[in-house]
Amino acid sequence: WPMSVRPDHSSVDMSSSAQSAPQVTSRDLHIQKLMQGAAAQSPTWLANILLKLVPVVDIITNILNVLYPYMVILYVNLNKLISITPNSIASALYGAMLCFFGGHFPALIIAIETFRQTGWAVTERNLRDLWAEWQNVRKADAEDDLADDNNDGIADVNQISGQQLFSRKVSLFMRSIHTERVTQAGLGLWTGLLSVLGALRLHFAQVLALGSSMGEQLEKVATSYVAPSLAQVVPPEHQKWIPVGLRYACKTIGVTFGFVIQRIISQAQSAMQGGLIMSRGILRFLNERGIYRVDMDQTMLDEYLGWGLAALGVYVQGIFVQSAIPFPISVLCWPLSFTEFVLRQLMTTSIGQ
């Protein structure tokens, strides 16, 4: 344990020690006490791990406590923004992102489309249910930290052992949540995540199959034209490695070209799909505001405008295919980039398993 949380019984000058020692808040001590209680009720091997994790948990908890108010503000403001934004504008903005930058987020687009096809309304309800239960637990925990049942002016949680505190908080958690609601929400989100991972794995498998096929065709050419030239410069005792080396080199080149081709296909697909979504969103907004009246079922204007935007989107994505999204937009898109990174890690991990 850190020296700052141990009782000091020495005759050292406490004023100078307090100035030099790091400050430990009551919340930090509360968490350390809770972790000690959890360790006391765990097997030895797990208890050792929990005790070593105490400083890490302290840091993570402090960071979350600092970020939580801002997360709530962001959530509330996003809800307000979504509530006042017309669906047509939201659709047009989504189409614009898809049209001009969809090639940078292939995994995210697959995930979004999978969620849409499997029922986004159910996923949204599950997320809201879990958020509401989390709020209930936080409220109950805050009230419990201030409880003083014996009216001695000291909070009850500061007068019990770590083991008693751990049992108290577990009991509080179990009383505060609606078990059926949390279970249904968790199962719903897990089902959606499995659907997304399945779609991502299928997409990745298609790319590998394409690359493997290209590598096999390239291997035939390399065996006929490259292998004889290599045989003239490679010592006879090492020539048995020529076919193996060519096979792996051709497979690598084929898979690389497969990813490049898939990237181009994803860019074109996202540009066409995003262009149509954007054009229809704009026309619906103009219709709703009475600026321009058009019957979407009786005109090809949305298709013409969408195809034009798609061509522009392919051009823009072609410019940034080998580079990052330009600065002002990259800042706005960092949550998308982070989500894309997480999805790719999940995809590679699931495939590796």
pLDDT tens for each residue of 23-55: 445 566 667 777 777 778 788 888 888 888 888
**CA separation, residue 293 to residues 51, 85, 286 (Å):** 68, 21, 7
| Mean pLDDT, residues 68-97 | 81
Banded model confidence at residue 20, pLDDT cuts 50, 70, 90: very low
Closest to 112 measured CA to CA, from 257, 270, 241, 313: 270
**71 within 8 A of 131, measured Cβ to Cβ:** no
Q: How far apart are CA 77 and CA 82, in angstroms?
A: 8
**277 within 8 A of 91, measured Cβ to Cβ:** yes
Mean predicted lDDT score pLDDT of the chain: 79
Question: Residue 129 pLDDT more than 80?
Answer: yes
Write out pLDDT tens, residues 150-173.
888 888 888 888 778 888 888 888
CA 162 to chain CA mean position, Å: 34
Write out pLDDT tens, residues 162-201.
778 888 888 888 888 888 888 888 888 888 778 888 888 8
What is the pLDDT at residue 308? 92
What is the pLDDT at residue 17? 37
* Secondary structure, 3-state, 5-20: HCCCCCCCCHHHHHHH
Write out pLDDT tens, residues 280-333.
899 888 888 888 887 777 788 888 899 999 999 888 887 765 566 777 777 777
Residue by residue, DSSP assigns 117-152 as HH-HHHHHHHHHHHHHHHHHHHHHHHHHHH--TT-S
Among 26-30, 205-209, 249-253, 307-311, the least confident range: 26-30
Question: Residue 3 pLDDT more than 60?
Answer: no
Share of the chain above pLDDT 90, in %: 2
Token duo for residue 144 = 């419990």
Sign of CA dihedral 235, 240, 243, 249: negative
